[in-house]
């Protein structure tokens, strides 16, 4: 039996009426299988729903044995039904038993049926189950029948989202109500309790079936016109600053918005009886399924464009989720797939925590979270599909865990953890104005890292002795055009003022790698972390670096100034950069501007090569700052953005500690002050070992100063050195175990 568009609309109306009737979720599912079987002329119709992320459960059937309902289960990828769920694509088998991966389930009585058509029940690319029809005779289902079943599956997905199929067992639990724990990675330590604030909230569609296809197509066309106008305005506004390559990308984006194929597929779904919003979601689900299977990064990016356009179109059709921070709950915890620094800064410091499905420890969002001292969890897979605005959420940034809608036992344990953190914070406040001096009289200078004006009040509250690293790139990243020199000079002057006479080390622009300016030509590099970035970019884009150096000198207004060049790999790069700075100083004098009363120029040692530079480099540099984050990734050849390899290499590896010791000795012998700057400096155990290796200055996020100082003040550094030397002599790969044992024995 072939289904026409009119037949499809009639079927959807019957299904909608079924869902509106009184009855429990099981009765509704049973009625759906009966209606679909009758309408399509099939002997079997079955609905399998997801029990968990790996298992499907038969929840309703017309034609198979009723006693198998809620008893038959299969894993994703198992059998033809499991394959549909795993691959998120239909299977149309004329003779199912001959298909690859066929699995016979005797408890269902399905051995009598030859043909099988299975389609995924999915919403926004998330597979929620599988809808199956079967016949005894061999039968290749037509394209119209496949399409009709996909339409029904889309309706089932929408109604499952609305809680229409609540019943017995995990597979039929009400959505968005269960307590779920998400295990990811830690991007910022700390614990927080709050309420979910979705960065891109899910669209709620209360009426997925439309009675008037023409009215729905008119709504779609109106929203599509608004979408195209907004895209044209956005692209025209950016055209003057865009490179040729950037314009090509934007034009491709515009082309997708004007795609006749996309529009015709949406209208075909509406003709079948779906509301305009559901038609868009149906196409979006198919797009996301394709994205997961495409290995080519260029094609994936184009599919991502189409996914983004679908989100924009859904917001126009529903009027939902228009503004950042709209309807912000109390104690908001931001939940997102990913987020850039500009968007994060729009939310402000009201956030209590951040949970991302993607992200990395080195991202600018993570840097801002650390500056704000709020816990952040990354790689919490699928949390945006489970969370709703306002849901209770607990974040354990130490363990990289998020508890969504936690039960009372988890809440109780979490309260204890937060209480202990408060007690520790009070202890750190007591030693804020005391020096970080070990029991044997070694004093360590404690500096803080910053990148925003909002960070500067921490210089007093944390007890920092100065700013060891002020990241200047954030002011470039959060805007769509190059900042003006006077703007930067004003900002840098306010930073110096806010430091209240304490030293501030300004690092020049460190962009490239994962930090891309929207108004620079994008560089297609196979390994951007080792490519055109930081000092390399500055020496080629001389006008940009000269402008920033002028802004820094003018901000000093005759006061002392410290400037540091990032990612120096060899002496000649530092020599060229310093020569450029010297020339800028001369020009400023000629113009009659004040120059710093004292100007000290340093370099970040982030590549192993610089540790072996000629002695002349160390004598020319006024100071060296070891950039631990980059140095470690190049030392171990382990990308710090790649969680699979990053975690394999320990900062307290004996090879890395020995390398740091060598750098300290060279700097000491040549009279060059050296510090360690990076996330590891803010971890008490690592900081202790760095001090034992000879480092006397550490720079970290403000919230880490208290814990590190507390640890340093409690130990004898000579004893620490003996433990490390013994561990190195034993052939251990890391000194971490030996140090933990020693600390435990010594309380």
Could you write out the three-class secondary structure of 527-553? CHHHCCCHHHHHHHCHHHHHHHHHHHH
Give the pLDDT band of residue 238 (cuts 50, 70, 90).
Answer: low
What proportion of the chain, given as a percentage, has pLDDT over 70? 86
User: What average pLDDT does this structure show over 236-242?
Assistant: 57
pLDDT at 313: 83
User: What average pLDDT does this structure show over 21-31?
Assistant: 82
Whether pLDDT at 536 is above 90: no
For residue range 374-398, list pLDDT tens digits in order.
Answer: 899 999 988 988 888 889 999 988 7
pLDDT at 59: 92
Assigned superfamily of 425-745: Phosphoenolpyruvate-binding domains (3.20.20.60)
Q: Where are the domains of the chain?
A: 5-172, 180-201+324-415, 213-318, 425-745
Whether pLDDT at 639 is above 90: no
Residue 529 or residue 318, greater confidence: 318
Give the pLDDT band of residue 498 (cuts 50, 70, 90).
Answer: very high
Residue 410 or residue 2, greater confidence: 410
Give the pLDDT band of residue 245 (cuts 50, 70, 90).
Answer: very low
The CATH architecture annotation of domain 213-318 reads Orthogonal Bundle (1.10)
Whether pLDDT at 548 is above 50: yes
In 53-179 the beta strands, taken as DSSP E runs, fall at: 55-62, 73-75, 91-93, 115-123, 126-135
User: What average pLDDT does this structure show over 48-60?
Assistant: 90
Least confident of 176-180, 239-243, 323-327: 239-243
Whether pLDDT at 597 is above 90: yes
pLDDT at 242: 46
For residue range 419-433, list pLDDT tens digits in order.
Answer: 877 777 788 888 999
> Where does residue 265 rank: exposed (0-12), middle (13-18), buried (19+ CB within 10 A)?
middle
pLDDT at 249: 54
Give the position of tokens 């510090």: 675
Whether pLDDT at 246 is above 50: no
Q: Residue 174 contacts by C-beta under 8 Å, 6 or more apart in sequence? A: 163, 166
Q: Quote the CA–CA distance of 148 and 733 in Å, as a whole number.
A: 61
50, 56 contact by CB (below 8 A): yes
pLDDT at 264: 87
Whether pLDDT at 515 is above 70: no
Whether pLDDT at 231 is above 80: no
Least confident of 206-220, 524-538, 594-608, 651-665: 524-538
pLDDT at 468: 96
475, 488 contact by CB (below 8 A): yes
From 631, 603, 632, select the one nearest 618 (Cα to Cα): 603
Helix-helix angle 684-692:717-730, to 10 degrees: 90
Half-sphere exposure for 138 (CA within 13 Å, toward CB): 6
Half-sphere exposure for 445 (CA within 13 Å, toward CB): 17
pTM of the model: 0.61
Q: Quote the CA–CA distance of 105 and 439 in Å, as a whole number.
A: 71
pLDDT at 522: 53
> Where does residue 20 rank: exposed (0-12), middle (13-18), buried (19+ CB within 10 A)?
exposed
Whether pLDDT at 677 is above 60: yes
What proportion of the chain, given as a percentage, has pLDDT over 90? 40
Q: Quote the CA–CA distance of 51 and 159 in Å, as a whole number.
A: 17
pLDDT at 39: 86
pLDDT at 583: 96
User: What average pLDDT does this structure show over 440-465?
Assistant: 89
Give the pLDDT band of residue 692 (cuts 50, 70, 90).
Answer: very high
| Mean pLDDT, the chain, whole residue set | 85
User: What average pLDDT does this structure show over 469-498?
Assistant: 86
* CA 25 remoteness from chain centre: 36
User: What average pLDDT does this structure show over 260-289?
Assistant: 83
pLDDT at 226: 87
Whether pLDDT at 512 is above 70: no
pLDDT at 343: 67
CATH topology of domain 5-172: Beta-Lactamase (3.30.450)
pLDDT at 524: 60
Q: Quote the CA–CA distance of 458 and 292 in Å, as a whole number.
A: 44
CATH code 3.50.30.10 for 180-201+324-415: yes
Q: Residue 573 contacts by C-beta under 8 Å, 6 or more apart in sequence? A: 535, 536, 539, 565
Highest mean pLDDT among 211-225, 393-407, 499-513, 618-632: 618-632
Whether pLDDT at 413 is above 70: yes
């Amino acid at each position: 039996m072939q289904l026409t568009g009119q037949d499809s609309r009639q079927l959807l109306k019957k299904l909608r009426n079924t869902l509106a009737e009184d009855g429990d979720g099981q009765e509704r599912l049973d009625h759906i299988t009966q209606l679909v079987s009758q309408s399509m002329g099939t002997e079997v119709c079955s609905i399998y729903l997801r029990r968990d992320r790996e298992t499907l459960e038969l929840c309703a059937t017309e034609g198979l044995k009723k006693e198998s309902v809620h008893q038959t289960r299969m894993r994703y990828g198992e059998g033809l039904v499991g394959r549909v769920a795993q691959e998120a694509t239909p299977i149309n088998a004329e003779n199912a038993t001959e298909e690859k991966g066929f699995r016979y389930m005797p408890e269902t009585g399905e051995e009598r049926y030859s043909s099988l058509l299975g389609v995924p029940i999915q919403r926004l690319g998330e597979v929620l189950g599988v809808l199956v029809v079967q016949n005894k005779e061999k039968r290749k289902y037509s394209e119209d029948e496949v399409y009709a079943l996909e339409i029904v599956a889309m309706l089932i997905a929408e109604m499952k989202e609305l809680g229409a199929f609540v019943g017995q067992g995990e597979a039929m639990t009400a959505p968005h109500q269960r307590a779920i724990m998400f295990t990811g990675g830690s991007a910022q330590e700390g614990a927080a309790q709050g309420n979910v604030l979705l960065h891109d909230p899910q669209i709620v569609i209360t009426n997925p079936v439309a009675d008037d296809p023409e009215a729905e197509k008119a709504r779609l066309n109106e929203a599509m016109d608004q979408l195209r106008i907004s895209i044209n305005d956005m692209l025209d506004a950016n055209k003057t600053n865009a490179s040729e390559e950037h314009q090509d990308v934007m034009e491709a984006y515009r082309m997708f918005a004007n795609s006749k194929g996309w529009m015709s597929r949406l209208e075909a779904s509406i003709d079948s009886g779906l509301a305009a919003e559901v038609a868009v979601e149906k196409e979006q689900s198919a797009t996301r399924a394709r994205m997961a299977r495409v290995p080519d990064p260029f094609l994936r990016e184009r599919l991502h464009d189409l996914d983004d356009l679908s989100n924009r179109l859904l917001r126009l059709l529903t009027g939902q989720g228009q503004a950042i921070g709209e309807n912000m709950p109390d104690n908001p915890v931001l939940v997102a797939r990913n987020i850039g620094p500009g968007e994060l800064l729009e939310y402000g410091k009201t956030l209590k925590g951040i949970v991302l499905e993607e992200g990395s420890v080195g991202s600018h969002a993570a840097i801002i979270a650390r500056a704000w001292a709020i816990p952040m969890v990354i790689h919490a897979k699928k949390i945006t599909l489970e969370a709703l605005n306002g849901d209770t959420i607990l974040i354990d940034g130490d363990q990289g865990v998020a508890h969504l809608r936690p039960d009372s036992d988890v809440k109780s344990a979490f309260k204890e953890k937060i209480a202990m953190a408060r007690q520790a914070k009070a202890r750190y406040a007591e030693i804020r104005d005391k020096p970080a001096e070990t029991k044997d009289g070694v004093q360590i200078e404690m500096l803080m890292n910053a990148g925003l004006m909002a960070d500067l009040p921490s210089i007093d509250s944390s007890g920092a002795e100065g700013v060891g690293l002020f990241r200047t790139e954030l002011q470039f990243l959060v805007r769509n055009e190059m900042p003006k020199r006077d703007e930067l000079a004003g900002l840098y002057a306010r930073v110096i003022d806010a430091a209240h006479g304490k030293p501030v080390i300004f690092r020049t622009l460190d962009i490239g790698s994962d930090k891309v300016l929207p108004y620079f030509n994008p560089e297609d590099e196979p390994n951007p972390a080792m490519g055109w970035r930081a000092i390399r970019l500055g020496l080629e884009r001389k006008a940009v670096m000269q402008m920033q150096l002028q802004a820094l000198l003018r901000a000093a207004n005759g006061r002392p100034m410290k400037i540091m060049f990032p990612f120096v790999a060899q002496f000649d790069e530092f020599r060229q950069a310093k020569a450029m700075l010297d020339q800028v100083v001369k020009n400023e004098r000629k113009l009659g501007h004040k120059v710093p009363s004292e100007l000290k120029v340093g370099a970040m040692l982030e590549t192993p090569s610089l540790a072996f530079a000629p002695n002349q480099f160390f004598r020319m540099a006024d100071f060296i700052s070891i950039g631990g984050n980059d140095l470690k990734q190049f030392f171990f050849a382990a990308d710090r953005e790649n969680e699979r390899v990053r975690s394999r290499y320990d900062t307290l590896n004996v090879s890395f500690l020995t390398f740091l010791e060598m750098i300290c000795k060279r700097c000491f012998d040549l009279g060059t002050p050296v510090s360690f700057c990076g996330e590891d400096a803010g971890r008490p155990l690592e900081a202790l070992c760095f001090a034992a290796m000879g480092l006397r200055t550490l720079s970290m996020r403000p919230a880490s100063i208290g814990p590190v100082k507390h640890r340093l003040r409690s130990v004898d550094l000579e004893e620490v050195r003996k433990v490390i030397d013994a561990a190195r002599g034993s052939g251990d790969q890391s000194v971490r175990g030996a140090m933990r044992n020693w600390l435990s024995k010594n309380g």
